[in-house]
Amino acid sequence: MCTVPPVKSSIAAALRTLVLLAALIWPVAAAQAQSFTTPGAWSLTVPAGVTMVGVKVSGGGGGAGGFSGPVGGNGGTGLLITAEIAVSPGQILSGTIGTGGGTGYLTGAAIFGLVPCAGSGSGGSGGGPGGNGGKTDCLTVGASGGGGGGGGSTTLALGSTTLVQASGGGGGAGAGSGVGGTAATNTALLLSATCGNSASGGSPPDFFSDGGGGGGGGGGYFGGAAGASAIDFFTATGGTAGSSCYSISAAIQYSAISASGAAGSAGNGGSGIAPGGRGGDGYVLISTAAISVKKSAQPVSNPINGTTNPKLIPGASVQYCITLTNGWARSATSVSISDSIPAQASYVSGSALSGINCASAASAPSGLSYSAPVLTQSAMTLNPGASYALTFLVTVN
């Protein structure tokens, strides 16, 4: 004999499940950070209650130098500026996202199906354009590579005042017929009030033999020098890479500069005239809170299904994950987490684990305590850009 449960009872059970689901696993994600990655103009109105923002501003990556048998030089990474800026609600933050520099390419005599007096990678656009790569010479019989274009710079302004400009990576140098082009490394981070006035890479003189590689375009600053041409049986050299710069207003309260922004493209040593690739576009990240917080939960097992598609029934285990991220330029100290366990669940003692994200949490957290119903972890330090995740289990009552 089969008994069909009353419809009202089934509906009531379903509603109880929905209420329990909402109480236990409704994710919490604070809208405290925004990213701008599309090249061109961007803007953000400062939200109510916000008086300080953390920003990351990256210029575009440099384009790779063209090859000539030897490999063209890699494009440089865009400069990355991390800063803290005092603001008022309603003010406008705005600027321009720089694009990556174009790649240089192989050029040479028409008898090889190539085009002499060309090969230049175009500079990226942005708040300040990147310089064009240097061309190869116009008479060469041997083939050589043009310089990569410098990445465009990315800017950030408060109102009508530009506060930050992060230039793009320098273009990689084109390869000569005997020596590859140098990579743009951005080891010299140059502070300049005229940042954004890019120079193009040098071009070798016309030489009816093996042409030198073109110099890489400047990512908001100096262009690289051209390589040396040579007669047959001697070595034609690659050019040198372009350089980069930055500018920061005195109104910035704290800043840090590094060469770890948008990626430059890699030089190409393959056959044919395939380019090495364009540099990555710049970006702007803005955090309206020093520490952003995300909270999520997921059923992991229950007494009936085990770990196979577990349902929220009495006895089920639910894993919570709380993730903190420091979006500002300085280390955050004395950071603490405090979370109340829902009345419908019980904390599983000893289940807490920590890591840099939810998936990798595997270490026992220090400074953890539980006084029902509040779980607390205290005395943590988060370095700039670092994330910390705390996971723990609860049992549905």
Q: Where are the domains of the chain?
A: 33-288, 290-396
Token pair 């400074």 in the structure block, residue: 367
Look at 160-174, 248-262, 295-309, 347-361 and tell me which has the smallest mean pLDDT: 248-262
Percent of the chain scoring above 90 in pLDDT:
21
Which range is least confidently modeled, 144-158, 172-186, 217-231, 262-276?
262-276
Mean model confidence pLDDT for the chain = 76
Of these ranges, 283-297, 355-369, 372-386, the one predicted with the greatest mean pLDDT is 355-369
Q: How far apart are CA 53 and CA 57, in angstroms?
A: 13
Hey, which of 69-83, 125-139, 287-301, 365-379 has the most confident mean pLDDT? 365-379
Which of 60-69, 97-106, 138-147, 278-287: highest mean pLDDT? 278-287
Mention the CATH class of domain 290-396.
mainly beta
Instruction: Report the alpha-carbon distance of residue 340 to residue 376 in Å, rounded.
Output: 9
Residue 165 is encoded by which pair of tokens?
């400009």
| Residue in 375, 355, 351, 371 with CA at minimum distance from that of residue 363 | 355
The tens digit of pLDDT for each residue in 13-36 reads 333 333 444 444 444 444 467 899
Edge to edge, the sheet with strand 161-166 lists 40-45, 92-97, 154-158, 161-166, 245-248, 190-191
Local confidence band at 186 (pLDDT 50, 70, 90 cut-offs): low
Q: Determine contact, residues 255/248, Cβ cutoff 8 Å.
A: yes
87 Cβ contact partners less than 8 Å away, ≥ 6 residues apart: 46, 50, 51, 52, 53, 93, 158
pLDDT at 92 over 50: yes
- Rounded CA separation 39/263 (Å): 15
